[in-house]
Amino acid sequence: MENIILIFVCLIIGFLLQKIKDFPSNSHQVLNQFVIYISLPALALFYIPKIQISSDLLYSLAVPWVGFVLSFLFFSILGKKLGWSKKLIGCLVLTGGLGNTAFVGFPVIEALYGKQGLETAIIIDQPGTFVVLATLGVLVASYYSRGEASASMIVKKILLFPPFIGFVIAALFNVFQYDFVEELQSVFQKLGSTVTPIALIAVGLQLTFERKSKHWGFLTLGLAFKLFLTPAIFYFVYIIILGKTGLIMDVSIMEAAMAPMITASILASTYGLKPKLSSMMIGFGIPISFLTLAFWYWILQTF
């Protein structure tokens, strides 16, 4: 419960800091860079060496990867047909394709399904959502942030993306079944724990409530895709078509229904992909998702 409270407290703090004239106007940019250069690599170095993936969890691991591809196809095709700007398409691909499978996902899944459900959620988040962010996420952000970015430039951005570097190091430790000494693990855990409060304050600093904003329609479409269409697709494929049932499938669908990923918004903002809209996707998406998650939990328990 304290994690949920922290979400709203940090958003409110960031929003109120906008009203302080002496507070630097570029503060959100500094906070975004701290998350990308420090918090996210530390998170990878702490969690990934400990992960054990079995064949039973491949369906879960597919959720963030397939979900991101679906988001890319949906918004890129729709955006081209409707004449959207590349920055708008990139923003919606990132925030509609990556879910908050960790900070919102972990406490929700643990509360509903216990420790066993949490183990599945960690698989979805770390080698799933986190790695998608560090690879495909950076690829999309690089391409849509400017004109025709060259392949070499995009590859360079991915390879030099701090969370990706952290992931590669952590993955090598995992492959060779090593982990860092306990003192370093503690340091990584504490640095990684700064992701949510800092990222949410940065989101709050950019969050605006403009009645006549041109973003309301895109916000509605983005959240409808993330909170309803994405989990509906996985429910249809996994449960209706393949006939899969059980805890792993339930957790997978619930994680597919999570609100947009906080750090996806940070990535979109850092690359100049409609920062206001990306912040709105988080600011409105998280509270709304508690209602839609209740709906999906009811569906899974009833049918």
**Among 63-67, 68-72, 177-181, 224-228, which is the least confidently predicted range?**
177-181
Q: Is residue 4 part of a domain?
A: no
Could you report the per-residue pLDDT of 231-246, keeping only the tens digit for each? 999 999 999 999 999 9
Could you report the per-residue pLDDT of 127-157, keeping only the tens digit for each? 899 889 989 999 999 999 875 556 777 788 8
Q: Is residue 22 part of a domain?
A: no
User: Is the pLDDT assigned to residue 263 strictly greater than 60?
Assistant: yes
* Number of independent structural domains in the chain: 1
Could you report the per-residue pLDDT of 27-43, keeping only the tens digit for each? 888 998 998 899 889 98
Q: Domain span at residue 241?
A: 30-302
Q: Is residue 72 part of a domain?
A: yes
Quick one: pLDDT at residue 277? 94
Top-confidence range, 73-82, 192-201, 209-218: 73-82
CATH number of the domain that residue 222 is part of: 1.20.1530
Q: Is residue 53 part of a domain?
A: yes
Q: Is residue 294 part of a domain?
A: yes
Three-class secondary structure assignment of the chain: CHHHHHHHHHHHHHHHHCCCCCCCCCHHHHHHHHHHHHHHHHHHHHHHHHCCCCHHHHHHHHHHHHHHHHHHHHHHHHHHHHCCCHHHHHHHHHHHHCECCCCCHHHHHHHHHHHHHHHHHHHHHHHHHHHHHHHHHHHHHHHHCCCCCCHHHHHHHHHCCHHHHHHHHHHHHHHCCCCCCHHHHHHHHHHHCCHHHHHHHHHHHHCCCCCCCCCHHHHHHHHHHHHHHHHHHHHHHHHHHCCCCCHHHHHHHHHHCCCECHHHHHHHHHCCCCHHHHHHHHHHHHHHHHHHHHHHHHHHHHC
Quick one: pLDDT at residue 147? 57
Q: Is residue 1 part of a domain?
A: no
Q: Is residue 256 part of a domain?
A: yes
Q: Is residue 175 part of a domain?
A: yes
